[in-house]
A and B are shown apart, each in its own frame.
Chain A
Amino acid sequence: MSPKTEVWQGTLALMVLKTLSAMGPQHGYGLARRIEQTSEDALSINEGTLYPLLLKLEQEGAIESEWGVSDNNRRARFYRITRAGLKQLNAEMSQWAQVNEIVDRFIALKGEKA
């Protein structure tokens, strides 16, 4: 497996929502760092692509945003998960777990020749 895996949009949304729910409001830069850290640098994203995703989530009402001040006193836009977002996260997590479980079963499959 290549160390820097491409992330597709569906899972990126789950990661963003989970990060926001676990670590509280974040600005875009912070989000990118947390995702990088959580994946232990296994994931690399073009950080700009976060923003269209954030807009989509915001349009769906899963997150909201407002301008605030960052740790090192910079103006930054902070994103916060909403109740609708939490619901969406839970739904997506259980869905993901289900998919995972199914895929695992296939992986665990012992072929006759294996």
Chain B
Amino acid sequence: MRALRRMWHRLLGIAGLHRSERDLNEEFASHIQMLAEDLIRRGVPDEEAWRRARVKFGNVPSTMEQYRDQRSVPFIDATLQDLRYAWRLMRRNRGFSTVAIVSLAIGIGANTAIFSVVNAVVLQPLPYRDPGQLFAVREVRTDKDTAVFPVNPAHARAWAAECRSLADVAILSNSRAQIGAGNEAAAIARGARVTHNFFSMLGAEPMLGRTFRAEEEEPGLDRVVILSESLWRARFNADRSLLGRMVLIDGVDHQVIGVVAGSFWTAFGGGVSSSPANNQYQMFRPLVIPIDQRTRLMGNYNYAALTRLKPGVTPEAALAELNVVQSRFPAMTGAGGELGALLIPLQDIVTGRSLALWMLAAAVGAVLLIVCVNLANLLLSRVAARARETAVRSALGASRGRIFAHAFSESMLLSGFGGACGLLLASVIVEMLTSTPTVQLPRLHEVRIDASVMVFALLATLATTVIFGVLPAWRLAGQLPGDALRSSGRAVTDGRQGARLREMLIGVEVGLSTALLIVAVLLSISLNRLLNVDKGFDTEQVFTFDVDTAGPQYEDAEGRSRFFDRLLARLDAIPGIQAVGFTTQLPLEGNSWNDAIYRDASSERHSVENRYASPGFFDAMGVKVLKGRAFDDTDRARGVAVLSPKAASLLWPDDQDPVGREFMGEDDKPKLLVGIVADTRAVLQDISAPHAYYPYWQRPPGDVAMVIRSRADADALVAPVRNALHGEDPTLPIAPIEPAQGLVDGSVAQRRLQSRLVVLFAVSALLVASVGIYGVVAYAVTRRRNELSIRLALGASRAALMASIVRQGMTPVLAGVAAGIALGLLLGRTIRALLFGVHATDGQTMALVSLLLVSVGLAACLIPARRATIGTTLDVLRSE
């Protein structure tokens, strides 16, 4: 208790809340005076009395010192003193301090921001029960080009029944739907149809109401809906009484039975791993698998499946079991070929872009490291300048530890300010990231500056302090005071060892910058190659918008078919529209509807992308007809189709011109091949999959993507398109009209952001490194001024001297470039998956980056070298 109280008073003492020194001095003086007066009264002569009084009192300064140490906590007192000193020093060197704090703030801020994203998106486990046991399943053709498909629901049922290592299998499919009431403008919500076990398998309990029952997967009993919390809040104002009430979905009443909290992300809505469609679901309805599909083992790879492994089961064991079941199917259908399965951890699917995130984190970490190294370098050159002052301090009795602490406190203060500014900057960056629509990362809304991010920022700050502060402080504390005092202060150097150290640091800076630049160039080349890839269609003057039909009048296929006939006629009549058509799935929107085509009942089934399109689609989208023709109205009476070259060669590998031949289509009916159209890419970076196009009237779709080729811009199209749609049906929702270039931009948005960030990081690294090189060479030149001028006076040529300076400056640069290329090669291999059309060991890239760094280094050396050899010898010698 007493000790505590004393500590508290001591802390108060630090804060200066106790008696001042003057007060104490006064007390001492009065004590001594009273002693002296007493003695005088007893007859001692004045001078003698004072002397004896002082002797009796004891040593005033040492008492004072003892008092001081006791008054507060000496260690903290000294630290505070150091910090005060560092603060004064910092304010005196405003330029240096500003550069240091700003560069640290940028470094720490960017690192903290990227960490907060990595933390939320990758490091935090998915908010499900035991998420490590959750996997997405895909089907794989193992015999030929190992094509990966979504899942056939009958296969998924077989896995659930037969594989004992699986705890459960849930099936789902994407379903966009309009949600709303009556004539009120309906909103389109991204939704999924899921089997009843979906939520229980994930371990996601509803926050309100219940989840689906098994019987709700039957046709007619499926008019129930579970809303996501976000949709419930946004559209229904978090109304609890909504439970049990009806809402209109696609014009049909559905009963709201539950609300689920949190977010459900997928990157697997029917697509394969590279599908860009990573959606956040807003509502769920029961999955009703049509009766005819329940036992159909052939084709129909149109669903996604998730599974939970039983506790303790390894993915390898589960996969082996799955493959046994899979291997039976080709023989059972007589289709031939070999079928396998693929298990992908759910976490990987949801955060599939984590490689890019790690790359960004590494890049931004490298920038911070370069900033630190550079600051260490700058501080090191100041070590020499402060050597005399330190020597004096150490001669007066300051311990090495004290000098170290003294020098280190400046770094501490700088990085403290840098870290604080960095945290502010990070929160700004995070705010910007989460509100930028082009940044589409799953779980991005979970990104925030929380406790763990704060801890990260603190650790980053501490680490930077240690990295850039320890070396200079150690050098300063380690020098012998005699050396520094002996040199008259004019030519104070930190010796051979110090120069070596700084050259090494330069090497590190250059190496890291080189590696970063290599990665940046590789990514930029990839982006460029990707943008120029032959997509198989045009985007210029092409616009698209979605048409989603909903309501009882569209239940009937014939009705839908006639609706689209009339709508196309209306749109075609709009002046300025050169061509109009639609398809069920636009290019670059991912692989989605996969089904089989085959020559005849006994021949092999080939899985291809299915599209239902209108005759005008090819013209409107600029998909070239390579052979034959596109289908048209004359084909209404018979089954026809158009194939891409890849699909045609699957059916007829040897026939160069199969137009006019017949094959079996997706609906198992004979189709006449009327033409071959160009391959289009479903995913920009993947080679085109084989496609089959059928005229829409053969299987009238409910939702289509309309494509318009027009000279007018999007704004001018809005009014006439709305009139056409509402002329047909006033309740139709009007989707925004987007330029088709958006398809391309959308699929490269992530890459564009990544490569821009990396280029930004690399350029800043290069700048910082060039400042570092300049600093070191300039400092070396200053140190060698005497020597240089004497050599000049003795007849050395300026060119030879410059060469010697440049040689000295470039040695660490060249070493750094070499190390950087090695590092770049290593990094390039790691990020292979992010590259497109360029090899990780691209020689041109390496040469370009080396050339760039060598020329930047040369420039940074030449400026001080020139300056050193320009002054006349006399100037230098006179200044001695």
Contact = CB atoms under 8 A, between A and B. Distances in A.
Contacts of A58: 9
A111 interface: no
B689 interface: no
Given A52-B66, A61-B5, A47 B30 contact: no
A74 B63 contact: no
A29 B34 contact: yes
A51 B30 contact: no
A15 to B, nearest CB: 17
A54 B35 CA distance: 19
Interface stretch (B51-59, B523-531, B547-555): B51-59
Interface string B42-58: 00000000000000111
Given A51-B67, A56-B6, A59-B9, A46 B30 contact: no
Interface string B4-15: 011001100000
Contacts of A46: 56-58
B333 interface: no
B329 interface: no
B560 interface: no
A97 to B, nearest CB: 21
Contact of A52 (B10, B57, B63): B63
A61 B58 CA distance: 26
Contacts of B67: 51-52, 55
Contacts of A49: 58, 63, 66
Contact of A76 (B6, B30, B57, B63): B30
Nearest to B8: A59
Interface string A60-76: 11000000001010111
Contacts of A28: 27, 31
Contact of A60 (B2, B56, B58, B59): B2
A39 to B, nearest CB: 15
Nearest to A61: B5
A51 B9 contact: no
A74 B34 contact: yes
Majority SS at the chain B contact face? helix
B28 interface: yes
A60 B2 CA distance: 5
Contacts of B56: 46-47
B158 interface: no
A10 interface: no
Contacts of A32: 31
A74 to B, nearest CB: 6
Interface string A18-35: 000000000111001000
B323 to A, nearest CB: 78
Interface residues of B, number: 25
Contacts of A47: 31, 35, 56-58
Contact of A48 (B5, B33, B57): B57
Interface in A65-98: 70, 72, 74-77, 88
A91 B70 CA distance: 24
Nearest to B62: A48
B80 interface: no
B10 to A, nearest CB: 7
Nearest to B33: A74
A60 B28 contact: no
A77 B20 CA distance: 13
B63 A48 contact: yes
B60 interface: yes
A28 B71 CA distance: 18
A88 to B, nearest CB: 8
Contact of B6 (A59, A70, A72, A77): A59
A77 B66 CA distance: 19
A65 to B, nearest CB: 9
B24 interface: yes
B176 to A, nearest CB: 74
Name which of A46, A70, A72 has the most chain B CB atoms within 10 A of its CB: A46
B2 A55 contact: no
A48 to B, nearest CB: 4
Nearest to B71: A55
A89 to B, nearest CB: 13
Contact of B5 (A55, A60, A70): A60
A47 B5 CA distance: 26
B53 to A, nearest CB: 9
Nearest to B30: A76
Nearest to A28: B31
A88 B3 CA distance: 13
Given A51-B27, A74-B34, 12 more contacts: A28-B27, A29-B31, A29-B35, A47-B57, A48-B63, A52-B63, A56-B70, A59-B5, A59-B6, A60-B5, A70-B34, A76-B30
8 contacts: A47-B56, A47-B57, A48-B57, A49-B66, A51-B28, A61-B2, A72-B37, A76-B30
**Shortest Cβ-Cβ A-B pairs, 3 listed:** A48-B58, A46-B58, A59-B9
